[in-house]
Structure 1
Amino acid sequence: MKRAFALWSVAFVLTVAFLVWQKMSGPTYPVRGSFELGEVEIPARLTRSGITGEDMVIKVDVAEALQAGKTVTGNVIWRRYPTDDPWQTLPMVPRDDDLQAALPHQPMAGKLEYRVELSDGTDTSILPTGGSHAVARFKGGVPALVLIFHVSLLVLGFLFSTGAGLEGLTGGAGLRTLSRLALGCLLVGGLILGPIVQKYAFDAFWTGWPFGQDWTDNKLAVGALLWLLAVWRTREALPGRPRGRWFAVAAMVGIFVIFAIPHSIHGSTYDYATGEHIQRM
């Protein structure tokens, strides 16, 4: 009992840690920072994901600056990405305690790069800093149920993968069963529901090899192949006879590497010159 508790505790902690990393490292995670106007600091989050058919609203809460007696104005400077379009300036409009601007909606996988400038008449502050820009990608709406099953099965796949690998390391009795569960979740969640999600979001079932270079598609395919091999090698594993356990350990490590790669890196991008979808950082 203590061994099982320790094993699943480690598997759970690792799963949560990698999920947090996937969320925070991906290209759709909001840009966080602060505007500084004199002695007033205004925290902000700049969104990097929009829905096709809907303008993307950029909001900055300036309540603290208003309470300090400042009059704050703002602009969003933007253009399509990746293009050499001239930069356009969109004035922000006050709404209660916010300054807001709506960037125009784009086709599936279309991207905009932008920055926000705030001024109180004396000081001007820009976010992101250092001359960089936030890049937002637009996608089609995905049915909630499809997305829930997709994400849930991938989470379970990672959990069972870790559990199976740890069973392999310790010679546990659940090696064969957990290996099969890991493979099943990765196949259904990643290679069946994944393309369905992508079709809704970017109008393409598969943009990995051999049709494209989408890293998310490719890494899920590699992960499933690793566990397919591990399931084959552990097919005769029994309690006290953990045959093929090092293949399960290797597959677990492979999944760690795969999930360490930020989600949606080198994913679908709308090419405004050709009207086609390409893969780009």
Structure 2
Amino acid sequence: MIKKVLIWVLAIFLALAAMIYQRSTGPTYEYKGYLEHAGEAYKYKLLRSHETTDGAKIELPYFEGANYEATLNYKRYQTEDAITKLDFQLEDGRFVAPLPVQPAAGKMEYFITGSINGKPFTIPEEGEDRIVLRYKDPVSDFILVPHVTLMIIVIIFGIRAGLSAVLDPGTMRRWTVVAFSAMTVGGMILGPLVQKSAFGEYWTGFPFGGDFTDNKMLIMWVVWALALAIIGFKPKKKENISRAAVLGAALVMTVVYLIPHSMGGSTLDYDKVDQGIDPKEAIRTGAE
């Protein structure tokens, strides 16, 4: 019993570590940093993803009484547009400047310049890449919540299955079935529904596009399907191949999972939009 508890603790710890890592990486998570004022550091979180219901409001900490100004500089992503400048304004106690709303998959690149009591600052710092924000259509919680929940189950039980293959082979089939089932429903059924709601297409991975997230999901599903096909539902006299298959699937899943989320995702091609093509027909995927 103690051994099984320790395996579960290790599985949950590894899964949480993987989820925290992925949560802090990738092109859609907030850009974080600090502004200094009066000897203290104030944290900011700048948006890199927003729904198409309105323009994304970029927010900075506000320093009352300071000689403080900031300007949002932005343009459409990967275009030759001139930079638009917009001053931050105090709004309901928040220091904000809005980006213009874009169609789904539309991206805006932006940076911020300003000064606090005569000391200039630039976010990101000069020489660094500008921040890129992508718009997406709203996704119903009835689809999104079970999708996210099942994908969490996949990483927890997938790692548990891999640990079972090494430390507790009698249970590895049970957890392999759970991981594969959760991946099938959460990844291969609900995942495309999320993609359709957010960007208008059910599937933009192989063989139709280069969306890294869809391709990651496909790889994980295939390795678990292969592992399940190899191990079957009943123990074998010699389990070495079965144990290797489950461990291999868990390792591949973990490595693939750690690739930042939303890389190579849907991007609006503004050249096509400017030619009069419907934005829904001007979305591309793949490495940029």
Fold-level match, TM-score > 0.5?
yes
The partner residue of 1:278 within 244, 260, 284 is 284
- SS of equivalent to 1:25: coil
- SS of equivalent to 1:162: helix
Which structure 1 residue ranges, 5 or more long, are not aligned? none
Q: Percent identity?
A: 32
204-213 or 129-138: bigger deviation: 129-138
What is residue 76 of structure 2 aligned with on the other side? 80
Structure 1: distance between partners of 2:3 and 2:43? 45
The partner residue of 2:94 within 91, 98, 101 is 98
The one-letter amino acid of 1:16's match is: L
User: Measured at CA, do residues 141 and 238 of structure 1 come closer, stay the same or move farther in structure 2, by a change above 3 Å?
Assistant: same
Which structure 2 residue ranges, 5 or more long, are not aligned? 274-281
Are positions 1:252 and 2:258 aligned together?
Answer: no
Structure 1: distance between partners of 2:8 and 2:41? 43
Residue correspondences, number: 277
What is residue 213 of structure 1 aligned with on the other side? 210
Structure 2: distance between partners of 1:10 and 1:121? 50
- SS of equivalent to 1:174: helix
What is residue 267 of structure 2 aligned with on the other side? 269
Give the deviation of 1:34 after TM superposition: 2.1
Give the deviation of 1:130 after TM superposition: 3.0
Are positions 1:112 and 2:89 aligned together?
Answer: no
The one-letter amino acid of 1:202's match is: F
The one-letter amino acid of 2:257's match is: F
Are positions 1:50 and 2:50 aligned together?
Answer: yes
The one-letter amino acid of 1:250's match is: G
User: Measured at CA, do residues 39 and 215 of structure 1 come closer, stay the same or move farther in structure 2, by a change above 3 Å?
Assistant: same
User: Measured at CA, do residues 6 and 241 of structure 1 come closer, stay the same or move farther in structure 2, by a change above 3 Å?
Assistant: farther
Are positions 1:177 and 2:160 aligned together?
Answer: no
The CA deviation string for residues 184-208 of structure 1, in whole angstroms up to 9 with x for no partner, is 1011111110000000001110000
Give the deviation of 1:121 after TM superposition: 5.8
Computed over aligned residues only, the root mean square deviation of the Cα atoms, in angstroms, reads 1.8
What is residue 30 of structure 2 aligned with on the other side? 30
**Contact between 1:237 and 1:244, CA under 8 Å: does it hold in 2?**
no
The one-letter amino acid of 1:277's match is: I
- SS of equivalent to 2:101: coil
- SS of equivalent to 1:274: helix
- SS of equivalent to 2:271: coil
The CA deviation string for residues 220-266 of structure 1, in whole angstroms up to 9 with x for no partner, is 11111101111111115439864611100000000011111000011
What is residue 7 of structure 1 aligned with on the other side? 7
Structure 2: distance between partners of 1:144 and 1:229? 31
**Contact between 2:104 and 2:199, CA under 8 Å: does it hold in 1?**
yes
User: Measured at CA, do residues 99 and 252 of structure 1 come closer, stay the same or move farther in structure 2, by a change above 3 Å?
Assistant: same
